[in-house]
Amino acid sequence: MNTLEQKQASARAALRYVEDGMIVGVGTGSTVNEFIPLLAPWRDRLEGVVSSSEASTARLKAQGLRVLELNSAGDLPLYVDGADECDPHFRLIKGGGGALTREKIIAAASKRFVCLIDASKRVDILGRFPLPVEVIPMARSYVARQLVRLGGQPVWREGVVTDNGNCILDVHNLVLTHPEESERNINQIPGVVTVGLFALRGADVVICGGETVAKR
């Protein structure tokens, strides 16, 4: 299968976790864009969906799905999203699409996080994909200097403003052998909104090319 076919197969496989009456958390990105149309036949069977981005909200509404605010939805039984990298322990790098903060909030609020990937996203050690960090605009340069001290090479994603009104630094050349520790350390830098490491709360289920991956 080519990459698109793998994404489509993973999206179809994720439907096995969707149940009547659920509120489903829906992520952002090219793989999730294959999943959203598959939810359309469920529009009258779901209580609603919670979206991680304005872009996904528009796609969900176009399919006739009821989009709810997380504050009113409460804890969610299911969250479906993609990833930019996934290691054998289901720890992830996310945020290539710029929605990392809302994605992390919904993942934390969800009982089960199903992550959809293609084979190119599987790695033994996280860090080949530049690590996104969402930053308060006034702190961009300060945070960048701290990230250099941690061994990274941050690059401002110029011209990008997140749905929260912030900017993103993409950190190159980090070898994340201890991703939980790295997640804590980066999140503690003043001015960081969140880092795109999903190690403390990784995926519960990973589907790659339509097949469920065994966790190490």
Provide, rounded to the nearest whole percent, the portion of the chain with pLDDT above 70: 100
Residue 214 confidence class, pLDDT cut points 50, 70, 90 = confident
Q: What integer pLDDT is reported at residue 175 of this predicted model? A: 87
86 and 47 together in one domain: yes
Q: Are residues 64 and 167 in the same domain?
A: no
Give mean pLDDT, residues 31-60.
97
The predicted structure's pLDDT at residue 31:
94
> Which of 34, 103, 134, 183 is an active site residue?
103
Mean pLDDT, the chain, as a whole number? 96
Report the pLDDT averaged over residues 7-28. Answer: 97
User: What percent of the chain stands above pLDDT 90?
Assistant: 97
Please give the order of strands across the beta sheet that includes 167-172. 153-156, 167-172, 131-135, 192-195
Note whether 178 and 140 are same-domain residues. yes
- Does 54 share its domain with 147? no
The beta strand positions in 55-109, using DSSP E, are 67-68, 76-82, 85-86, 92-93
Bridge partners of 151? none
> What's the mean pLDDT in 76-89?
97
* Residue 135 sits in the same domain as residue 116: no
Q: Are residues 144 and 52 in the same domain?
A: no
pLDDT at 79 over 80: yes
Together in a domain, 48 and 22: yes
41/92 same-domain check: yes
* Residue 109 structural domain: 3-123+201-212
Instruction: Verify whether residue 103 is a known catalytic residue.
Output: yes
Do 70 and 105 touch, CB atoms closer than 8 A? yes
- Are 112 and 40 in the same domain? yes
Count of domains for the chain: 2
Same domain, 94 and 146: no
